[in-house]
Each structure stands twice: as structure tokens, then as C-alpha cells.
């Protein structure tokens, strides 16, 4: 089946630093989404991308939908302690729409104050 | 509350037992989804409901797993003859009509199932 390769697996950064993580696939996707999950909680949507090449920002977060439709990146600027969590990319496959999202394995972010 | 509600939050059972997990979606959301999240992994699609019917159950791992949504709101995921490999967090999500096409899902906190 379709798989998403997400990297890095984990990151340890100092407060104030910028963060970049990405997601790649051998298959194309029609939508790319980035979710954040904190311990004991369900994932929460951060950013959604719908067109190849699209660049979207949400506060300190910026994400791009790769032009080949096979990759996406998420940047977080000026990190703060509450950015701690696991960040998942998710892709909506071309067949059947976005009801069956495929998730990456996540990037675990630790921010040291 | 206004979010997706899942019960129980934790369930410990013995191998071979039957388990039911309940999900109460956001009021007015027509679509409901079940995902399974194993330790260190991302969520994995199980089944999706549009209204009362299962629109896509291709993610259910085998016939021990079954889900219903009889009135188009609350859903129950049922697991028969549980196995140790079923241990995971079972996440429920719901979405509006628009969210079905955009992947904008609202997840509950999950039900953590442990099979001993």
C-alpha cells in the first residue's frame, strides 16, 4: 500500500530555533495535511494543502505541497515550548478522495527552554 | 463538550474476549472515521461512515473487527476474540461535509486497548 516517509524521526532544539521536517512518498497524493499530536490526545489539524506547489502559512507554521505531488514540508519558526509534540504528515490518495488518509510515522519535537 | 467523545479511554482485556469501543462525533458531522494507532506509528485507517452506512471498510484487518453507526451519529467498533496484536489506541474522528473532501478531521482522544 501507499506509504509516507517522514523525517527526521525526532528533533531536539532550543527555544527560538526554526524547525523543518518533511514527508515523501513514491505515490502521488491529492491533498497533504499536517497534524500535531500531544500525549494522551488525538491529532489536531495544523495546515491543509490542496494544490501542487501551494505554499500556506498558519502563524509561525509554513507548509508546502510539492510540485510533483509526492512530497511536503513543514517549517516552524521561532519555536516555543508549547510546540512540543509529534507532528504527522498525512496524504489524501487520488482514488476515493481524502476519507482514507495515509499518515507518516511522525516527527517527535522536543523544545528546550 | 463540543468535541469527539470516545469511551472507554482505557480498556484492558484478556485474549479471546469481546470488546466494544464507542464514539460520539461532533454534532452535525455526517462523516465518521475509525483509525488505529500502534505505539510509535501514525494513525492507520480502518473504516469510514457516511451517515449510517459504512462507505469504506477496506482498512479493517480481518473479520473479527466490525463497526456500526445505526442512527448516523454514535458509532461502536466491535472486536471479537481479541488478540495481543490488537493492542493499540483506537482513534475516532468526524468531519463535516466539506471535511470529507479536504481531510480536515476532528479526532477524539482515543481508546487505549490492551490485550493481555
The minimal CB distance from A31 to the residues B33, B91, B102 is found for B102
What is the mean predicted confidence (pLDDT) over B61-77?
A: 96
Question: Using CA atoms, how far apart are residues A63 and A88, in angstroms rounded to an integer?
Answer: 12
Which parts of chain A sit beneath pLDDT 50?
none
Inter-chain residue contact B45 with A44, CB threshold 8 Å = no
Q: Which residues of B touch A29 (CB under 8 A)?
A: none
Least confident of A27-36, B42-51, B74-83, B95-104: B95-104
Residue located via cell numbers 513543514: A74
Which DSSP string do the residues of B21-47 spell out, in sequence order? EEEE--TT--EEEEEEE-TTS--EEEE
Least CB–CB distance from A99: residue in B91, B100, B108? B100
Q: Cis peptide before A94, with omega less than 30 degrees from 0?
A: no
Q: Report whether pLDDT(B87) > 70.
A: yes
Tell me the pLDDT of chain B averaged across its residues. Answer: 94
On chain B, the residues whose CB falls within 8 A of the CB of A4 are 42
Q: How far is A51 from chain B (nearest CA, A)?
A: 11
Mean pLDDT of B9-18: 98
Disruptive mutation site among B103, B104, B107, B110 for chain A (greatest number of A CBs within 10 Å): B103
CB atoms within 10 A of CB A57: 11
What are the tens digits of pLDDT across the range A68-99?
999 999 999 999 999 999 999 999 887 756 67
Share of chain B above pLDDT 70, in %: 98
Q: What is the pLDDT of residue A96?
A: 57
pLDDT at position A1: 63
CA-angle at A73, arms to A72 and A77, nearest 5°: 155
Q: Is the pLDDT of residue B53 over 70?
A: yes
Q: What is the gyration radius of the CA atoms in chain B, in angstroms?
A: 13
Q: How much is the mean pLDDT over chain A?
A: 93
Amino acid at each position: 500500500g501507499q506509504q509516507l516517509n517522514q523525517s527526521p524521526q525526532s528533533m531536539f532544539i532550543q527555544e527560538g530555533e526554526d524547525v523543518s521536517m518533511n514527508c515523501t512518498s513514491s505515490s502521488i497524493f491529492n491533498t497533504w495535511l499536517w497534524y500535531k499530536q500531544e500525549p494522551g490526545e488525538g491529532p489536531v489539524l495544523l495546515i491543509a494543502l490542496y494544490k501542487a506547489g501551494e505554499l500556506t502559512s498558519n502563524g509561525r507554521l509554513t507548509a508546502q505541497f510539492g510540485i510533483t505531488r509526492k512530497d511536503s514540508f513543514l517549517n516552524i519558526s521561532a519555536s516555543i515550548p508549547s510546540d512540543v509534540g509529534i507532528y504527522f504528515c498525512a496524504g489524501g490518495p487520488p482514488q476515493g478522495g481524502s476519507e482514507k488518509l495515509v499518515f507518516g510515522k511522525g516527527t517527535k519535537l522536543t523544545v528546550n527552554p | 463538550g463540543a468535541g469527539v467523545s470516545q469511551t472507554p479511554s482505557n480498556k484492558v482485556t484478556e485474549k479471546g474476549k469481546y470488546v466494544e469501543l464507542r464514539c460520539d462525533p461532533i454534532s452535525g458531522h455526517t462523516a465518521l472515521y475509525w483509525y488505529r494507532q500502534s505505539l510509535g506509528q501514525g494513525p492507520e485507517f480502518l473504516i469510514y461512515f457516511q451517515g449510517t452506512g459504512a462507505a469504506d471498510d477496506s482498512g479493517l484487518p480481518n473479520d473479527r473487527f466490525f463497526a456500526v453507526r445505526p442512527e448516523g451519529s454514535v458509532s461502536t467498533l466491535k472486536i471479537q476474540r481479541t488478540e495481543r496484536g490488537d493492542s493499540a489506541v483506537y482513534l475516532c474522528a468526524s468531519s463535516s461535509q466539506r471535511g470529507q473532501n479536504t481531510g480536515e478531521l476532528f479526532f477524539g482522544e482515543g481508546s487505549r486497548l490492551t490485550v493481555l
